[in-house]
Amino acid sequence: MEKRIALVGIIVSDMSQTPKINAILSGYQEYILGRMGLPHQHHNGEELAIISIAIEAPADVISALSGKLGMIEGITSKVIYHNIKSA
């Protein structure tokens, strides 16, 4: 199956959910190229985490990861796919 490269952006507004996020991401570690997490204190005092995941995997694997993240309360996630040129 053809692999795709994608960037998964995650905003965490409920910090108590981070163990669930880490558990999901651990299940996909063979596909993850890199991960960056940034804590952020919003001007209204709200604590957020901004996470970006670079991943190379079949499209259905990327969709499954995004779907699992999207089901967690207090989490927003979006995926950006690289356009693959066919030969």
Return phi, psi of residue 85, to 5°: -85, 130
Identify the pLDDT of residue 46. Answer: 82
Residue 85 tokens, joined? 């040129």
CATH number where 68 lies:
3.30.70.1150
Chunked into runs of 10 residues, the chain (87 residues) has average pLDDT values of: 92 94 96 94 86 96 94 95 71
Q: For residues 61 and 58, what is the distance between their CA atoms, to the nearest angstrom?
A: 5
For residue 86, is it within any domain? no
For residue 50, is it within any domain? yes
For residue 19, is it within any domain? yes
For residue 52, is it within any domain? yes
pTM: 0.86
Of 43, 52, 49, 53, the residue nearest 74 (C-alpha): 49
Q: How many domains does the chain have?
A: 1
Domain that holds residue 21: 3-81
